[in-house]
Structure 1
């Protein structure tokens, strides 16, 4: 199963340069890296990244993160994947830009 992380361009660039990350500022404050499933990603973008440009959608295989991935109750009572270790470039399957068009982030067609 693929899960997804949304990064700002500077966060994505830092991961590529350094090879690992503890995530975005929200991840650092919460103590884990927030991910979303395909069905949760658009709401995550709308809620936490409204009108933000320069975003990247990063795909990761959830199975490859075991045993450091936990599914925990979050927004609306849904279970979200949370990673309790550094994310590395080896975890990344692909990265695609999330362009903002008329106030809505455009997700890859194979996700929606």
Structure 2
């Protein structure tokens, strides 16, 4: 995705929610992984984009990613390693910052 490698205010979360605890009929409480790999979250905002760059971002999001439903590969904003992402389901957040520029807030899932 264009601009993902330049996210500012980066926040990484997870893995979380991949464990379940239950009490067996006999013995101690058990903790088990629900899946083999847990999802991690990454969120942040782009550098200020020009109107043309924002239009490119929106076209990429709406058409290439089918309004954020498809996954995509891009350099991870912290490691630079090519990673597969998809939207976490929340809309992106355009934020005017002055001078005709716009930052875009994103929340993405890092796929295993």
TM-score, normalised by the number of residues in structure 2: 0.30
Larger radius of gyration: 2
Higher strand share: 2
Higher helix share: 1
Higher relative contact order (CA closer than 8 Å, sequence separation 6+): 1
